Amino acid sequence: MALTTEPTIEESAGLPSASRRRAVPSRRRGLLSSGWTKGAGLVGAAGVLVLLVFASVAYGSKSIPLGVVLEALLDHDPTDNDHLIVRSLRIPRTLIGVGVGVALGLAGAVMQGVTRNPLADPGIFGVEAGAALAVVVGIYVFGIGTLTGYVWFAFFGAGVASVVVYGLGSVGRGGATPVKLALAGAAMAALLSSVTSAILIVDVTSLDQFRFWAVGSLAGRDAAIAGQVAPFIVVGVLLALASGRGLNALALGDDVAVSLGERVQRTRLLSALAVIVCSGAAVAAAGPIGFIGLTVPHVARAICGPDYRWIMPWSLVLAPSLLLAADVVGRIVARPGELQVGIVTAFIGAPFFVFLVRRRKLAEL
Amino acid sequence: MRTVLPTDGTVVLRSDRLGISTRVHTRSVAVSIAVATVAAGVFAWSITVGDFPIPLVDVLSYLVGRGTEDADFIIGTLRLPRGLTALLVGAAFGLSGAIFQRIAHNPLASPDIIGINAGAAAAAVFVIVVIGGTSLQVTSGALVGATVTALAIYLLAYRKGVTGYRLVLVGIGITAMLGSVTSYLLTRAEIFDAQRAVVWLTGSLNARSWDHVRPIGVALLVLVPCAVGLARHLRLLEMGDDAARGLGTRVEVARGSLLLTGVALAAVATASAGPIAFVALVAPQIARRLTGGRTLALVPAALCGSLLLVGSDLLARRLFAPTELPVGVFTAILGAPYLLYLLARANKIGSGG
């Protein structure tokens, strides 16, 4: 092994040197091992995302040629039906899809980093269970029946539930440790969903409305909803990206992280805040789509290895791609109706996910 | 027979004549006895209360075969089978959860999370919504669904052996797919079918008869000794595959049989009472914290599961009487606060893992 601190030729070309390659156990590396390929791959993935954005605007129960889409954007004619569809339906829906995807992907990655648990999704903070309970209470007690009405209830429920979970997980000796957070969240989520199902069992009318919210969908989301959640998604994404470096330190374990100068509790609080804001906004906009937050970070980890500075951008690109692809497919296969995005996401994503898990030597958390 | 007292809170029972010895963790035994006593008390109480209260004396006279006709019907046909189902299902979930959490080294890995319940649920909802089946058909559907799903997860996770990590991840994927099948069926169903499905999905012990008690009773008679017998391997597997192999365990065989036991327990329990949430997750955690975390706590986990389910069923029956809610609503309402309290007290395991 070379003892010099000078970078070797391989290293300056972005390739890991022989010594570093040996230092990293093979199971901890991803599909792409050098900085160049990871960066290039990321750019390619972003290109795919852009294509999907166009597809999402163009395809649906009525296909609209790309030329007309551009026309609707640049030279809007309010009397043209196609232009109206593009402007008032497809574009808000696509924007919400991208925003929700980004938020869920990042929230999932941060969540798994904070709890160091491959099973931790944003739902583990009780976000989805809290939002669901609040929406059901909104329907049952206040007779709310519109999507715009659901948004604030969902947001309120998600916020309260996750703050309570973080509070409970921090009580006692040692502050907020991963195991305590995960268990407190699981317990809280179970508690809240019990109350939800109790209401649904007692009141059939609530169940009738709620079951359509509960699958997770982008259908009928308009510019008003996009406006309601956009600020939260922006703040959440910034918080999440800021916590990436700290998560690398946390991944080494609390003791090592502390000795490396990381302020563990502060990082954990910042990350938790990011998860809460991101996933709260996502669930408010589109209902519970838990699968994306749970699996996309695993896919990212399989591609680029355990470094959160790479996992975050990869999750940020992959998650909205999966969501938009699922949404477009859901609109095409069941024309003139549509399949909810929550259903299609799992159906497209899960086989691919299982394949990936089988094939790769896994980069563990 | 003689006993030796090491300093670590265990008692070694050794018989020189028979050439066997075993080590007993005194605190586990004490906890087990305490939990079992409370569970038996709640069970007895749940048989006496209801719309038609029956004094404990009459219950005892029923047991010795001298009950009145009314008591015979209410105890023998309604309450006793229901209470027994609760005890057995709770034990099965608790034990199954304990095995999964230990194999996967993950406190969140319970059969509800890694796919077995999702398989049972999707199959049962299919039977309810598409076929409009009877209660027995739903039960069989759930059993088939759980078994097929478990097999699929194991085969998909198999790659020169199965690691806990890969098993958990494959389970997540399969759970998501099956969960979306369930949601899809729910959105397409007639609203009253949907309501029936939601009750089943929450988990209910309503109208359980001896036909429900017998299968799960037989299953537990076989599976509990299996689990206790395999516990030795579980302890070794916890040290990591290499260490376990070095100490003479056939790792794949041991893990395979443990998984099989856990899956069978979860499948039978789900088929009997629906995918009751949270019992499999919380019972082992409570047991572990009560016993001080030094042992595997399989038996205490099973007993905690029984206690939780019997208590929840009593609440589900009586709290809003005469309206009866599914038991699954109360398992979390009863179990979650207790787990949170134990977490907040944060002993050594609370922070370590």
The angle formed by the CA atoms of residues A248, A250 and A251, to the nearest 5 degrees, is: 65
| Structure confidence by residue, pLDDT tens digits, B21-72 | 677 778 888 888 999 999 999 988 888 887 777 777 777 777 777 777 777 7
Does the structure show a pLDDT above 80 at A60?
no
Question: What CA–CA distance (Å, rounded) separates B80 from B213?
Answer: 10
Q: Do B285 and A183 touch (CB under 8 A)?
A: yes
Question: What CA–CA distance (Å, rounded) separates B7 from A351?
Answer: 52
3-state secondary structure B279-342: HHHHHHHHHHHHHCCCCCCHHHHHHHHHHHHHHHHHHHHHCCCCCCCCCHHHHHHHHHHHHHHH
Q: Do B173 and A295 touch (CB under 8 A)?
A: yes
Chain A, chain B: beta-carbon pairs less than 8 Å apart: 182
H-type helices in A203-263, by residue range?
204-214, 223-242, 244-250, 254-259
Does the structure show a pLDDT above 50 at A263?
yes
Q: What is the pLDDT of residue A364?
A: 54
Q: What is the pLDDT of residue B220?
A: 92
Looking at mean pLDDT, say which of A233-242, A343-352, B101-110, B189-198 comes out highest: A233-242
Share of chain A above pLDDT 70, in %: 87
Q: Do A119 and B195 touch (CB under 8 A)?
A: no
Q: What is the pLDDT of residue A4?
A: 35
Residue of chain B whose Cα is closest to the Cα of A352: B173
- Give yes or no for a contact between B205 and B313, defined as CB atoms under 8 angstroms apart: yes
Mean pLDDT value of segment B232-254: 82
Mean pLDDT value of segment B290-312: 86
- Give yes or no for a contact between B216 and B85, defined as CB atoms under 8 angstroms apart: yes
Cβ-Cβ contacts under 8 Å, B202 against chain A:
197, 201
Q: Do B180 and A118 touch (CB under 8 A)?
A: no
Residue of chain A whose Cα is closest to the Cα of B177: A346
Any chain A CB within 8 A of the CB of B177? yes
Contacts of residue B170, defined as CB under 8 A and 6 or more positions apart, other chains included, come to A354, A357, A358, B115, B153, B156, B157
- Give yes or no for a contact between B270 and B142, defined as CB atoms under 8 angstroms apart: yes
Tokens representing residue B279 in the block: 């019992």
Q: What is the pLDDT of residue A16?
A: 40
Does the structure show a pLDDT above 70 at B352?
no
Residue window 194-223, chain B: list those with CB within 8 Å of chain A: 194-195, 198-199, 201-202
Looking at mean pLDDT, say which of A208-212, B107-111, B222-226 comes out highest: B222-226
Q: For residues B269-306, b (16+ Cβ closer than 10 Å) or e, as one string?
A: bbbbbbbbbbbbbbbbbbbbbbbbeebbbbbbbbbbbb
Q: Quick one: pLDDT band at residue A234, thresholds 50, 70, 90?
A: very high
Q: Do B176 and A291 touch (CB under 8 A)?
A: yes
For A167-184, give the DSSP string: HHHHSSTTSS-HHHHHHH
Cβ-Cβ contacts under 8 Å, A343 against chain B:
180, 183-184
3-state secondary structure of B25: strand
- Give yes or no for a contact between A357 and B169, defined as CB atoms under 8 angstroms apart: yes
- Give yes or no for a contact between A130 and A160, defined as CB atoms under 8 angstroms apart: yes
Which of B183, B202, B336 is opposite residue A201, by nearest beta carbon?
B202
The amino acid at B94? G
Does the structure show a pLDDT above 70 at A12?
no
DSSP category for residue B21: E
Higher pLDDT, A165 or B346: A165
- Give yes or no for a contact between A94 and A56, defined as CB atoms under 8 angstroms apart: yes
Q: What is the pLDDT of residue A22?
A: 38
Tokens representing residue A328 in the block: 């477009």
Q: What is the pLDDT of residue B86?
A: 92
Q: Which of B202, B182, B176, B204 is nearest to B125 (CA)?
A: B182
Mean pLDDT value of segment B316-330: 81
Q: Do A180 and B202 touch (CB under 8 A)?
A: no
Question: What CA–CA distance (Å, rounded) separates A241 from A110?
Answer: 9
Alpha carbon dihedral B341, B343, B346, B347, in 10-degree steps, equals: 100
Question: What CA–CA distance (Å, rounded) separates B161 from B154?
Answer: 10
Any chain B CB within 8 A of the CB of A354? yes
| Structure confidence by residue, pLDDT tens digits, A288-319 | 887 788 888 888 888 888 888 888 999 999 99
Higher pLDDT, B114 or B78: B78
3-state secondary structure of A203: coil
Question: What CA–CA distance (Å, rounded) separates A135 from A5?
Answer: 58
Q: What is the pLDDT of residue A319?
A: 92
Mean pLDDT value of segment B283-290: 87
Q: Which of A288, A337, A339, A292 is nearest to B184 (CA)?
A: A339
Question: What CA–CA distance (Å, rounded) separates A231 from A60?
Answer: 28
| Structure confidence by residue, pLDDT tens digits, A116-169 | 777 677 777 788 888 889 988 988 888 887 777 888 888 889 889 888 888 887
Q: Which domains does chain B have, with CATH numbers?
A: 2-352 (1.10.3470.10)
Q: What is the pLDDT of residue A19?
A: 38
Mean pLDDT value of segment A60-86: 77
Mean pLDDT value of segment B103-109: 77
Does the structure show a pLDDT above 60 at A5?
no
Q: Which of A279, A297, A288 is nearest to A349 (CA)?
A: A297
- Write down the mean pLDDT value for chain B: 82
Q: What is the ipTM of this complex?
A: 0.71
Q: Quick one: pLDDT band at residue A13, thresholds 50, 70, 90?
A: very low
Q: Quick one: pLDDT band at residue A360, thresholds 50, 70, 90?
A: low
A208-217, B160-169, B241-250, B283-292: range with lowest mean pLDDT: B160-169
Q: Which residues pair with B23 in a beta bridge?
A: B12
Q: Which of A112, A125, A193, A197 best tests the B interface by mutation, with the highest count of B CBs <10 A?
A: A197
Which residue in this structure is represented by tokens 């929406």? Answer: A135
Q: What is the pLDDT of residue B349?
A: 45
Q: What is the pLDDT of residue B95?
A: 93
Mean pLDDT value of segment B111-120: 78
A233 CB-contact burial (10 Å; exposed 0-12 / middle 13-18 / buried 19+): buried
Higher pLDDT, B58 or B228: B228
Q: Quick one: pLDDT band at residue A359, thresholds 50, 70, 90?
A: low
Which of A174, A182, A211 is opposite residue B187, by nearest beta carbon?
A211
Any chain B CB within 8 A of the CB of A255? no
Does the structure show a pLDDT above 70 at B185?
yes
| Structure confidence by residue, pLDDT tens digits, B135-144 | 778 888 888 8
Higher pLDDT, A83 or A17: A83
Q: Which domains does chain A have, with CATH numbers?
A: 117-285 (1.10.3470.10)
Share of chain B above pLDDT 90, in %: 12
Radius of gyration of chain A (CA): 22
Tell me how crowded residue B18 is: count the other CB atoms within 10 A of its CB: 8
Q: What is the pLDDT of residue B7?
A: 58
Residue window 284-323, chain B: list those with CB within 8 Å of chain A: 285, 323
Identify the H or E element spanning B271: helix B251-273
Cβ-Cβ contacts under 8 Å, B335 against chain A:
187, 190
pTM of the entire predicted model: 0.76
Residue window 287-306, chain A: list those with CB within 8 Å of chain B: 290-291, 294-295, 298
Q: Do B346 and A350 touch (CB under 8 A)?
A: no
Q: What is the pLDDT of residue A15?
A: 37
- Give yes or no for a contact between B182 and B125, defined as CB atoms under 8 angstroms apart: yes
Any chain B CB within 8 A of the CB of A346? yes
Any chain A CB within 8 A of the CB of B109? yes
Distance from CA of A171 to the nearest CA of B (A): 5
Identify the H or E element spanning B130: none
Any chain A CB within 8 A of the CB of B159? yes
DSSP category for residue A7: P
For A8-52, give the DSSP string: PHHHHTTPPPHHHHHHS-GGG--S--SHHHHHHHHHHHHHHHHHH
Which residue in this structure is represented by tokens 């004094």? Answer: B55
Mean pLDDT value of segment B156-171: 77
Mean pLDDT value of segment B100-129: 82
